[in-house]
Structure 1
């Protein structure tokens, strides 16, 4: 009787854990690319055939604060640059702020999103600078403090506090306790000042064009935030931001970096080419780029990471479910510390889990707090990492 109870307990745990089958695991190991943080960039060579003729790689991450994700992505970017001539990196950071990259000998880590102010990003930007790579931001969010100085320099101090006023108005528009009528006039006043700035610029150089685009981003952001204040439709606001980010990428690759190949460094949700409930950046990019676009999602199974607000979080245990597999369970089954798997165009033997819903916790998917996705709908390839840790942040000056 004791043996029977133990057998039933183990059987129950096995069902709840939902491992992939031995055959599926064997196929996955055979078809995947083993990755290591310490290996040279040549470990990515098996992907060359798939990526050589692409024009844009959307390189996602499940969170913005994991050391191992940063190091693997740095390694991958160096390979894409050295071997396949990808010479543009576009970061999910302020387009206006990242213009600082083009100042002499400047490594503008402090103009990135604050969670990326790390040694790994400093090394990546230094590599990009040494290799004469092009770098820009594509976000409409403010991620640094450099744009005011640029506006003052170009426009002769027409309005020396405009960026400070912009940020204060933006905070008020986000604050539910501030009524629209208390802030609308001020927001429209700032929009008119920015329009005056924009019309005064007749850009010729790369920096002047980026500056004008940065001003236009400020105007567009205030418009969609005013609309959000009216209708309080957060999905609509999220879609507005992602559509503007996609528009920035399209503009950058058309007006600033034509005929170049780009790596887009972003979160998984923005890199995804499909979302069941939201209108996200990858979906906005897909009509223009089509088969020239390659999307990669990065997922982890355990460890700790720094969240966007700076708090330290621990990756949860795989969820026990009697019908769905947790992505972490699959990653734990693999013998490698990290791996890359390319998703086939069609389901074939032993790839069913890529074409079925899997559990996906510890990452943002949509505003409905969905925790499942069908990976083949979202991405062309996947990076799996067994364990992550907190990155080494740069010390404040």
Structure 2
């Protein structure tokens, strides 16, 4: 028995050693050249604190964004607290020094419009600290990392250079708006002499608008015939809004209903996170965003806050064209896609977790010993190895080998990320 165990142990050891030699230790042939290119081209960022007013380290963006109008700021994950801090400081710099006065989030188009309106002229008697919850998802406002930025937005409203906030998503995003949606829609209909009795199913489900985006809940409440009727009533009400007039509020509610209808169609037809679901959502976000860029904010400089994958300016695969592909195709070099990446993150115990596999370029980034730096991929010469395919975890920590210069224009590297510290409000 002992001899059998020894043989098995030896076999396991041989397999592990073979696996390590064949797979884990085989670095790409251009690894050393990549290391040289990273060190040669990185621009060191001294701080990610929004309170740091010494912007000498960010002046590199003066040249890079000279002819830019649209800056897409990504993030690996929606709970990367250090990325939130870095984006906040960058937004302050762009606003104060480069005249970017519009910030649009991957959040509900209507929700963010209402949030911005309340920040300018409060009517809902909500605490000032909570106004951001009308439009933003909780992870983008209810934490210490973004709190200085939210305060900055609000203070800007009283200055000569106010920041206008908006959204372009088809989803509901403002949790603090959930119990107000029905009343706000009813009041708007009453104001425009539209009787919701003409839309019986919509009127019946008015308090369940957000729950109905959950396919299982919708299946319990509505059969296929009722779903069709429900969507038709939303379409009819939208048409009634169009007929009733054309001021700003009516245009917003018109687009709001279009987003609601599209959100249901996506949620009821495709599995959450599927390529088909993402394709539909990104195509609709692109329509909303292009409308705002061309009509609402024509000629203005715009910052777009979203996930890294939505910034990609080339097809992710045959099924999915990210938002960035539409933006880059239409606006070309006027749009700059800046994504954020990290080597790992510290957990609550201070341990480094989520380290990438050894083929990922984030290992080279980590080996520089620099906590924060920026790589302008767009400005690199054709001879650099960074213009060749390399492995990165920039998309949600997934190791992918791509020619990343086809997808993004720059990388903002934060060596160690961490979860935000959430506030109780």
For this structure pair, what is the TM-score category when the shorter chain's length is used for normalisation? 0.7 to 0.9
Counterpart secondary structure, 2:336: strand
Deviation at 1:58, TM superposition (A): 0.9
**Do the aligned partners of 1:187 and 1:222 also contact (CA within 8 Å) in 2?**
no
The aligned counterpart of 2:328 is 286
**Do the aligned partners of 1:89 and 1:135 also contact (CA within 8 Å) in 2?**
yes
Counterpart secondary structure, 1:246: helix
Question: Structure 1 residues 71, 359: CA separation in 2 closer, same or farther (over 3 Å shift)?
Answer: closer
1:120 to 130, 145, 160: 145
The aligned counterpart of 1:309 is none
1:235 to 272, 275, 280: 275
- For residues 185-196 of structure 1, the aligned pairs below 5 Å read 185-196=225-236
The aligned counterpart of 2:355 is 317
The aligned counterpart of 1:138 is 168
The aligned counterpart of 2:406 is 377
**Do the aligned partners of 1:109 and 1:121 also contact (CA within 8 Å) in 2?**
no
Is the aligned partner of 1:101 residue 2:112?
no
The aligned counterpart of 2:423 is 394
Partner Cα separation in structure 2 for residue 19 and residue 71 of structure 1: 36
Q: Structure 1, residues 183-240: CA drift from partner, whole Å, max 9, x if none?
A: 32232222233223322324544343222211111122233444438xx993222200
Counterpart secondary structure, 1:155: helix
Is the aligned partner of 1:327 residue 2:361?
yes
Partner Cα separation in structure 2 for residue 45 and residue 346 of structure 1: 18
Is the aligned partner of 1:165 residue 2:239?
no
The aligned counterpart of 1:258 is 298
Question: Structure 1 residues 392, 208: CA separation in 2 closer, same or farther (over 3 Å shift)?
Answer: farther
Is the aligned partner of 1:154 residue 2:197?
no
Is the aligned partner of 1:209 residue 2:224?
no
Structure with larger RCO (C-alpha < 8 A, sep 6+):
1
The aligned counterpart of 2:339 is 297
Aligned residue-pair number: 368
**Do the aligned partners of 2:309 and 2:395 also contact (CA within 8 Å) in 1?**
no
1:34 to 44, 69, 90: 44
Partner Cα separation in structure 2 for residue 255 and residue 174 of structure 1: 37
Deviation at 1:27, TM superposition (A): 4.1
Deviation at 1:300, TM superposition (A): 0.6
The aligned counterpart of 1:267 is 307
Larger Rg over CA atoms: 2
**Consecutive unaligned residues in structure 2, runs of 5 or more:** 1-16, 123-127, 157-161, 197-201
The aligned counterpart of 2:125 is none
2:391 to 358, 364, 382: 358
Give TM-score, length-normalised by structure 2: 0.76
Deviation at 1:271, TM superposition (A): 0.8
Comparing 233-242 and 211-220, the one that deviates more: 233-242
**Do the aligned partners of 1:170 and 1:222 also contact (CA within 8 Å) in 2?**
yes
The aligned counterpart of 2:90 is 76
**Do the aligned partners of 1:98 and 1:137 also contact (CA within 8 Å) in 2?**
yes
The aligned counterpart of 2:57 is 43
Deviation at 1:73, TM superposition (A): 0.3
Partner Cα separation in structure 1 for residue 256 and residue 346 of structure 2: 35
Question: Structure 1 residues 18, 203: CA separation in 2 closer, same or farther (over 3 Å shift)?
Answer: farther
Deviation at 1:354, TM superposition (A): 4.2
Question: Structure 1 residues 173, 236: CA separation in 2 closer, same or farther (over 3 Å shift)?
Answer: farther
Partner Cα separation in structure 2 for residue 338 and residue 92 of structure 1: 25
RMSD of equivalent CA atoms: 3.3
